[in-house]
Amino acid sequence: MDFHTHLKNNFPSELADNIIAAMDEDRTRALLLNTSKVNPREFNSRFPEITPHPLTENGFLYNRNTYDFGKMCWHDLGAYYIQEPSAMSVVSFLDIKPGELVLDMCAAPGGKTMQASLLLQQSGIIIANDISHARALVLSSNVERLGLGNVVVINNDLTKIYESFLETFDKIILDAPCSGSGMFRKDDRMLKDWSYNKVIACQKTQTQLVHLAYLMLKPGGTIAYSTCSFSKEENEDVIASLLANSDAYLSPIAINTELYQSRYLEESVYFLPSLFVGEGHFLALIKKPGQKEASTFMIKSYRGRHLDLLKQYGLENRYNLEMNNSLYSLSQPFAINKLNVIRFGVRTFDEINKHPKPNHHLAIFLNNFQSIELDETSFKKYQAGEVLLDYRSPGYHIVSYQGINVGFVHSVNGTLKNLYPKGLRRR
Bridge-based pairing of strands 125-129 and 101-104 is parallel
Res 305: pLDDT: 87
Q: How far apart are CA 293 and CA 179, in angstroms?
A: 36
Looking at the fold, whether 26 and 131 belong to one and the same domain comes out as: yes
- Tell me if 339 is assigned to some domain: no
Looking at the fold, whether 141 and 265 belong to one and the same domain comes out as: yes
- Tell me if 98 is assigned to some domain: yes
Q: How far apart are CA 37 and CA 365, in angstroms?
A: 9
Taking alpha carbons only, the member of 192, 198, 197, 206 closest to residue 179 is: 198
Q: Hey, how many other C-beta atoms are within 10 angstroms of the C-beta on 199?
A: 22
303-319: pLDDT as tens digits: 788 999 999 999 999 99
pLDDT cut 90: percent of the chain above it: 88
In the structure, what pLDDT confidence band is assigned to residue 204 with cuts at 50, 70 and 90?
very high
202 is catalytic: no
Question: What is 100-114 written as a DSSP string?
Answer: -EEEETT-TT-HHHH
Alpha-carbon 64 to chain mean position: 22
Q: 252: domain range? A: 7-287
Res 87: pLDDT: 97
- Tell me if 403 is assigned to some domain: yes
14-35: pLDDT as tens digits: 999 999 999 999 999 999 999 9
Looking at the fold, whether 283 and 378 belong to one and the same domain comes out as: no
Bridge-based pairing of strands 415-418 and 388-389 is antiparallel
Cβ-contact 214, 286 below 8 angstroms: yes
Question: Which stretch of DSSP H or E encloses residue 208?
Answer: helix 196-216
Cβ-contact 56, 18 below 8 angstroms: no
Bridge-based pairing of strands 125-129 and 80-82 is unpaired
Looking at the fold, whether 283 and 386 belong to one and the same domain comes out as: no
Tell me the CA distances in angstroms from 231 to 15, 57, 115, 399, one per residue in order: 14, 29, 26, 49
Amino acid at 245: N
Q: What is the mean pLDDT of residues 202-210?
A: 98
**pLDDT value at 300 more than 80:** no
**pLDDT value at 255 more than 80:** no
Looking at the fold, whether 165 and 276 belong to one and the same domain comes out as: yes
End-of-domain residue from the set 287, 312, 340: 287
Res 257: pLDDT: 76
Spot the catalytic one: 106, 178, 202, 228: 228
Q: Which of 183-197, 343-357, 374-388 has the lowest mean pLDDT?
A: 183-197
Write down the pTM of the prediction.
0.96
224-240: pLDDT as tens digits: 999 999 999 999 999 99
- Tell me if 347 is assigned to some domain: no
Res 407: pLDDT: 98
DSSP conformation class of 388 = E
Looking at the fold, whether 201 and 75 belong to one and the same domain comes out as: yes
Residue 59 bridge partners (DSSP) = 32
Res 20: pLDDT: 94
End-of-domain residue from the set 261, 287, 313: 287
Res 304: pLDDT: 80
Average confidence score pLDDT of the chain? 95
Q: What is the mean pLDDT of residues 133-153?
A: 98
- Tell me if 328 is assigned to some domain: no
With the C-alpha atoms ordered 193, 199, 205, 209, is the resulting torsion angle positive or negative? Answer: positive
- Tell me if 276 is assigned to some domain: yes
Burial of residue 99 (CB within 10 Å: 0-12, 13-18, 19+) is: middle
**pLDDT value at 301 more than 90:** no
Res 390: pLDDT: 85
Q: Which 3 state secondary structure label does DSSP give 296? A: coil
Looking at the fold, whether 277 and 390 belong to one and the same domain comes out as: no
Q: How far apart are CA 47 and CA 254, in angstroms?
A: 31
Looking at the fold, whether 276 and 382 belong to one and the same domain comes out as: no
Q: How far apart are CA 359 and CA 140, in angstroms?
A: 14
Q: How far apart are CA 306 and CA 259, in angstroms?
A: 52
Looking at the fold, whether 106 and 201 belong to one and the same domain comes out as: yes
pLDDT cut 70: percent of the chain above it: 100
**pLDDT value at 296 more than 80:** no
Give the chain's domain count: 2
Secondary structure tally for the chain: helices H, strands E:
13, 23
In the structure, what pLDDT confidence band is assigned to residue 346 with cuts at 50, 70 and 90?
very high
Q: What is the mean pLDDT of residues 93-102?
A: 96
Q: Which 3 state secondary structure label does DSSP give 416? A: strand
End-of-domain residue from the set 253, 287, 321: 287
- Tell me if 322 is assigned to some domain: no
- Tell me if 303 is assigned to some domain: no
Q: How far apart are CA 65 and CA 50, in angstroms?
A: 12
162-194: pLDDT as tens digits: 999 999 999 999 999 999 999 998 887 887 889
**pLDDT value at 48 more than 90:** yes
Q: What is the mean pLDDT of residues 62-91?
A: 96
Where residue 189 sits, what CATH number does that domain have?
Answer: 3.40.50.150
Torsion angle in degrees (nearest 10) through CA of 169, 227, 146, 40: -100
Where residue 402 sits, what CATH number does that domain have?
Answer: 2.30.130.60
Q: How far apart are CA 87 and CA 232, in angstroms?
A: 18
Taking alpha carbons only, the member of 226, 115, 220, 231 closest to residue 171 is: 220
Cβ-contact 196, 5 below 8 angstroms: no
Taking alpha carbons only, the member of 247, 259, 262 closest to residue 90 is: 259
